[in-house]
Amino acid sequence: MASELSDAIRLLVQERGISEDLIRKTIEEFLLAAYKKKFGTSDNAVVQFSDEDGEVTLFAQKEIVDEVYDPVSEIELVEAKEYDDEAEVGDELLIEINPQEFDRVAVQSAKQKARQTLREIQKDTLYSEFSDKVGEMIIGYYQRERNGNIFVDLGKTEGLMPKRYQSPRETYRPNDRIKALIYEVNKTPTGLQIILSRTHTEFVKRVFELEVPEIYDQTVSIFKLVREPGYRTKIAVYSNREDVDPVGACVGLRGVRIQSIVRELEGEKVDILKYENDPRTFIKNALSPAEVSHVVILDEAKRQALAVVPENQLSLAIGKQGLNVRLANRLADWNIDVKTEAQFGEMDIAAETKRAVSALFGESIGPGEEEEEITRISELPGITDSLVTALKGNGLEYIEDLVALSEEEMNALTGLDENDVKELRQTIAESVEIIEEQEEAAEAAGAEEAEEGEGSEEEPSEEEAPAAEEVPEDEPAAEAEEAPELAEVPEQPEAETAPEAEVEPEAEDAPAEAEAPETAATAEVDAEAEEEEEEGDEITFVSELPNISDELVEKLKANNIEEVLDLLELSEEQLTELEGFSAEDVAEVRQIISENVEVIEQDEEEEE
């Protein structure tokens, strides 16, 4: 019996992977359960194992007494003498119990408890073994399928691969070899449940570790991996050593490593790209295999970016059903919008963003171009988000609408207090000059074009003046042709005012019907005067007037007077009635106007 018990213990250790100590403990509990079923208690039962031959013995521990009250735990002295001649009252005696004497009910109860105990032991053993392997790769064999779920034989136990964790590309047949990731280990009433997966990103990472030694030894690290199971995987890698190319290490010689990975994934497309700290470069790489012209960061706080691609790369960058850009969003952790170059040119984005893009790619945008025009209130420099939100609540989004409001209408806006109105006025005062300068630049450009058009008929241009000087030496015939044209200039009424304002006093005394050389010299003087006046600074704003104080400029701005023309149009009574103006301020303004009126009138004539 001892040899049979030892063989049974060794068999359980080999088949179920249970330790010998746990099996002995189970046998002990089995015998105690049978003893309790027969005698009603197991408090005085003792189980002993022999280390030599593995024999197990069950004893009943009884106390020696003169008169027995409990036959289970007590024994008389006379009966005890039969087991031990030296027994005395008060001693304890171990009496061997033969398990074969137990009835069938006791044995059946003990057997059931032993099976339950062995099952729990096996479950705990397997759980402790596989719980440490969560996230690791395991190889099993296809066993059976039920409702789309695949049961995989793992040797000691079986694993379950649910349908949602199976790649849509893969099909299996009985006894197929399956490589999967241990995703989850659970204890259930029916046994241990090991959940396997082939769709999670960790599975692809483990495949890369198996196929690429540089990733396994941390020479090359995986920054992030995103995946649409069965369709495409994007993986960003970087090298911890300067002499190792991370992408080349993953691809392998002639693509041997990546081909093995693709075969393991049943033909799923894999994009390997290099991780970059610069978000623009990283987004470019993330949209591979599409070629990206450039990337614009729209909002760094909200992580919004715009990728501009050529027309023929748009569909490739977006991917089938948006798969490529969706994976790029997850990989770069940015909200990426893809546009063609033509669509990007039509977009209405902030001027600073476009300036940054142009500066990045070596382009310069002039101050008079449309890209720098500020139209929305939110684009005003220095304005707070709370003010923008409050103005939007009042239906105001554009600067034009805001500037058109009177002081009373601005004070009546809901959601704005006195400080907000004051801050808004200050912002407008600081930014309105920029807007007006842009408008004045456009008007000045138009006026210059008009003057050039008139000048072509009235008098020779700067380029024609030297030619007129050379006429007497080289081309006398041309001299005779140009002289009548110059003589006809005084007959045009529009042309009379301009020479009077622009020509110096010496040029005014010249006769209209002078000879060709003298007229050419006069034209040269006029051209030089025009150049000097064009190079001079034009005074258009009140703040540019000489000797005017900042305090006086602010008072005029508060009354919506910023240009010199607006100031000149005011009558004496209107000037006195200006808000915040004292008699000293009015006198100072009059003095400044009287001192600079000649320059101002000259500027007005030029604009006319």
**Residues in Cβ contact with 504 at an 8 Å cutoff, skipping those fewer than 6 apart:** 525, 529
Give the Cβ contact number of residue 390 at 10 Å.
Answer: 18
The first and second tokens of residue 385, run together, are 């988000």
Query: What is the DSSP track for 142-196?
Result: EEEEETTEEEEE-SSSEEEE-GGGS-TT----TT-EEEEEEEEEEEETTEEEEEE
Crossing angle (nearest 10°) for helices 20-39 and 104-131: 150
- 200-275: CATH class: alpha beta
Burial 542-574 (b: 16+ CB within 10 A, else e): bbebeebeeebbebbbebebbbbeebeebeeee
Per-residue pLDDT band at 54 (split at 50, 70, 90): low
Domain 133-197 and domain 277-373 have a common topology: no
pLDDT at 461 over 50: no
Per-residue pLDDT band at 448 (split at 50, 70, 90): low
Whole-number pLDDT of residue 354: 57
Q: Report CA-CA distances (Å) from 205 to 122, 134, 183, 358, 421.
A: 31, 14, 13, 40, 59
Q: Report CA-CA distances (Å) from 127 to 13, 124, 131, 155, 523.
A: 17, 5, 6, 14, 104
Mean pLDDT across the chain: 75
Sheet holding 220-228, edge to edge: 220-228, 232-239, 269-274
Whole-number pLDDT of residue 400: 76
**Residue boundaries of the structural domains of the chain:** 2-116, 133-197, 200-275, 277-373, 374-441, 459-535, 542-607
Give the Cβ contact number of residue 17 at 10 Å.
Answer: 15
Whole-number pLDDT of residue 498: 35
Contact present, 195 and 162 (Cβ < 8 Å): yes
For domain 2-116, give the fold.
N Utilization Substance Protein A; Chain:P; domain 4 (3.30.1480)
Could you confirm whether domain 133-197 is CATH 2.70.170.10?
no
CA distance 502 to 508: 10
Pick 542-607's CATH classification: 2.70.70, 1.20.140, 1.10.150, 3.30.450.
Answer: 1.10.150
The backbone torsions φ and ψ at residue 271, rounded to the nearest 5 degrees and listed phi first, read -105, 120
The first and second tokens of residue 446, run together, are 């138009």
Contact present, 205 and 189 (Cβ < 8 Å): no
What does the pLDDT average to over 240-258? 92
pLDDT at 348 over 50: yes
Whole-number pLDDT of residue 598: 58
**How does pLDDT run across 260-293, given as a tens digit for each residue?**
999 999 899 999 999 999 999 999 999 999 999 9
pTM for the structure as a whole: 0.49
For domain 277-373, give the fold.
GMP Synthetase; Chain A, domain 3 (3.30.300)
**How does pLDDT run across 77-93, given as a tens digit for each residue?**
888 887 877 778 888 87
The first and second tokens of residue 175, run together, are 């006894």
Pick 374-441's CATH classification: 3.30.1380, 1.10.3470, 2.60.120, 1.10.150.
Answer: 1.10.150
